[in-house]
Amino acid sequence: MTSRSMRVALLTTMLCASSTLRAQPPMRDYLVLVASESVDRVALVRFGPAGARVEREKYVGWSKMEVAGPHGVAISPDAKEYFVTIAHGTPFGKLVKYDAATDTQLGSVMLGNFPATAQVSPDGALVFVVNFNLHGDMETSDVSVVAAKEMVEIARIRTCTMPHGSRLSSDGTKHYSACMMDETLAEIDASTLSVSRHFFLTKGKEMGMVGAPAERGASDHAAHGGAATDMSGHGMEPPKPGDISCSPTWAQPSRNGSRVWVACNKSSDLLEIDTKSWTLVRRIPAGPGVYNLATTHDGARIIATNKRDASMSVFDAVSAKELARIPTTRKVVHGIAVSDDDRYAFISVEGVGSEPGTVDVIDLGTLKKVASVDVGQQAGGIDFLRSEPVKR
């Protein structure tokens, strides 16, 4: 056999193996929880060899006459409890704890204005919640820290205007959130429960600083790139000519803690920041209106939703190459949950108007959408619960 024939045979074998991998169905069931903001429901979605389906739903509102607006979902590390942020309220929102097996309410605590993204600390002791403050005057908001067992707010840390994307480092020592209207990334020291550093994100003006960002009035926001224009759209407004603002919507630390990636929704790129030197490493071109981020557990890939493009993207974390941009079932893409084995990404899609919300399932090996299931309208917050043997 000639060397060329050997190469062809090898390539054929590789393609056959790849085809076998593409055709292989999931061998386990995967469970995720997703909140639908317009109908006050949290759905348990099961995906496995039989496809994707809604297994059950929990009503989390308190009045049929008023939409409470569940926004964020966060699951405890032992997967025994889940927490839901109730975004709207009179006058403020709540964090509510539920039993993950029975959906029984276990406690609640009043927080700030429009609690949004939430995450439980790796030891399960604390829940960090950003108070997004969507409504009312443009003013500095905060991050609530809740004792998970007692459901008591132990701290409310003043950070910036419209914080979003509450994410902790894998060791639980640092908390990061994006300041949508202040063009900054805020870092909280989890041991002192205070802002330790911030990073200014506007293109050409990137700079890391120690301590909390200086407070600015509403008139100053427009002077820093015009970021304070997209309140109701949650990242749907494209930039105007000459607008160089970032308008950050998410901050995602790397698995080893050496980097933080920030989604610049307005400029449609990712900023990679070195956490040791607190300097900008690079800007990475991303999809239109990049919104939320996640990483695989092995740290190899970054996953992003593109809110103005009806798509999601997968990036190589080392090279920053966009490996795939995959269309989603509907428009207004929102959140991401990654399975415990890094095989699948679950993408929540809000939909438009009377459309239902959707959860799309992306195979991270083949980089293709393999399943989709409708849930309640305006599907947003999503988190991975567990995988388990196939349910018969």
**Alpha helix stretches (DSSP H) within 173-292:** 218-223
Which distant-in-sequence residues (6+ apart) come within 8 Å of 329 by Cβ? 349, 358, 360, 369, 372
Query: How confident is the model over 32-44, as a mean pLDDT?
Result: 97
Which distant-in-sequence residues (6+ apart) come within 8 Å of 158 by Cβ? 140, 141, 142, 195, 212
CB 309 within 8 A of CB 288: yes
The DSSP code sequence of 348-387 is EE--STTPPEEEEEEETTTTEEEEEEEESSSEEEEEEEEE
Range of weakest confidence among 206-210, 211-215, 301-305: 211-215
Distance, in Å, from the CA atom of 264 to the CA atom of 251, rounded to the nearest integer, reads 9
pLDDT at 229: 45
The DSSP code sequence of 26-42 is PSEEEEEEEEETTTTEE
Distance, in Å, from the CA atom of 190 to the CA atom of 172, rounded to the nearest integer, reads 7
**Taking 50 as the threshold, does the pLDDT of residue 18 lie above it?**
no
Is 126 exposed, middle or buried (CB count within 10 Å of its CB: 0-12, 13-18, 19+)? Answer: buried
Query: How confident is the model over 362-378, as a mean pLDDT?
Result: 97
Distance, in Å, from the CA atom of 206 to the CA atom of 118, rounded to the nearest integer, reads 27
**Taking 50 as the threshold, does the pLDDT of residue 373 lie above it?**
yes
| Structure-token match 């509510």, residue found | 96
**Taking 60 as the threshold, does the pLDDT of residue 349 lie above it?**
yes
Short-list 336, 246, 226, CA closest to 286: 246
Strand-pair partners of 261: 252, 272
Strand-pair partners of 43: 34, 57
Tokens found for residue 186:
């805020």
Tokens found for residue 117:
């993204």
Break the chain down into helix, strand, coil percent, rounded to 5. Answer: 5, 50, 45
Q: What is the mean pLDDT of the chain?
A: 89
**Per-residue pLDDT tens over the stretch 115-156:** 999 999 999 999 999 998 877 677 889 999 999 999 999 999
Neighbours of 125 (CB within 10 A): 14
Distance of CA 255 to the CA centre of its chain: 15
pLDDT at 237: 72
Please count the residues of the chain. Answer: 392
Tokens found for residue 390:
């196939």
Domain covering 28-214+253-389 assigned CATH 1.10.10.60 in the classification = no
| pTM, rounded to two decimals | 0.90
Task: With H, G, I as helix, E, B as strand and everything else as coil, classify residue 388.
Answer: strand
Number of H helices, E strands in the chain: 2, 29
Short-list 211, 202, 348, CA closest to 264: 202
Reported as a pLDDT band with limits 50, 70 and 90, residue 4 is: very low
Reported as a pLDDT band with limits 50, 70 and 90, residue 17 is: very low
pLDDT at 215: 54
CB 73 within 8 A of CB 82: yes
Tokens found for residue 51:
């496809």
